[in-house]
């Protein structure tokens, strides 16, 4: 899959170049870079019966997503740098900046830091989101051995990372509106990308309301509890 994505990414970038446009290449969250379960040191978690590495069955936590700008020149040629420490909510403001479109006040800032005259492109602006194409957080032998994006032949991605403006974006936890220990997912992360700001998800809102005590002052909940007590009924709280 990583090889096929890379080949088609190359075709997209060729078209962008021919039309004098530019592209931002990113990912919504991590997954393909960690296909086996790893411990906190980046070593395989093995099945106690078979001794084999346990396959990852969910998106990876703690990895970041790439942001690469293609079309304005190579990293040592472009009149800007990319700020570090961004999140996937910075993707659209960064694209607006490169297009010369004013960034709405509701959005977070662009990651572009101009150091010279930025000449706008006449061609199309293309946003490429490679689903689950995260950046490996460990550089151990086990981590490399289960990184599908590393093991597959991906000359286009290798070229982009080595030669073009690049930065890493946080795509998990509170940066994408989820509790800090929660990995990002497609629904949540695409919402943050499209909105250009962090939108708190219901899970985070509920968690914070419990922590602050506001949850226990919720009038609808209190009414339900009072009515259940008066009628000797049960109230069931279900978490998802």
Active site residues: 186
Angle of helix 186-195 relative to helix 91-99, nearest 10 degrees, comes to: 30
Q: Is the dihedral of CA 32, 87, 173, 131 positive or negative?
A: negative
Structure tokens at 232: 């000797």
Tell me the pairing of strands 64-70 and 80-82.
Answer: unpaired
**Interaxial angle between packed helices 2-18 and 155-163, expressed in degrees from 0 to 180 and rounded to the nearest 10:** 60
Q: State the Cα–Cα distance between residues 208 and 188, nearest whole angstrom.
A: 18
Tokens of 60: 């990876």
Contact 20, 14 (CB under 8 A): no
- Residues with Cβ within 8 Å of residue 97, at least 6 apart in sequence: 103, 110, 112
């Amino acid at each position: 899959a990583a090889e096929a994505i890379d080949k088609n990414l190359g075709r997209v970038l060729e078209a962008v170049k021919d039309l004098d446009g530019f592209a931002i290449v990113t990912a919504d969250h991590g997954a393909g870079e960690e296909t086996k379960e790893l411990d906190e040191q980046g070593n395989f978690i093995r099945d106690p019966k078979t001794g084999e590495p346990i396959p990852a069955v969910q998106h990876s936590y703690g990895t970041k997503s790439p942001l690469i700008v293609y079309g304005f020149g190579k990293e040592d040629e472009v009149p800007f740098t990319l700020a570090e420490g961004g999140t996937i909510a910075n993707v659209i403001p960064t694209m607006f900046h490169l297009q010369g479109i004013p960034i709405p006040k509701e959005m977070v800032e662009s990651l572009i830091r101009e150091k010279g005259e930025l000449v706008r492109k006449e061609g199309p602006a293309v946003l490429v989101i490679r689903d689950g194409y995260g950046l490996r957080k460990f550089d151990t032998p086990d981590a490399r051995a289960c990184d599908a994006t590393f093991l597959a032949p991906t000359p286009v991605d290798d070229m982009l990372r080595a030669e073009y403006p690049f930065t890493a974006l946080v795509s998990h936890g509170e940066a994408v509106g989820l509790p800090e220990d929660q990995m990002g997912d497609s629904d949540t992360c695409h919402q943050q990308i499209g909105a250009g700001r962090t939108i708190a998800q219901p899970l985070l809102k509920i968690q914070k309301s419990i922590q602050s005590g506001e949850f226990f002052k919720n009038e609808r909940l209190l009414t339900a509890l009072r009515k259940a007590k008066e009628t000797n009924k049960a109230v069931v709280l279900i978490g998802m």
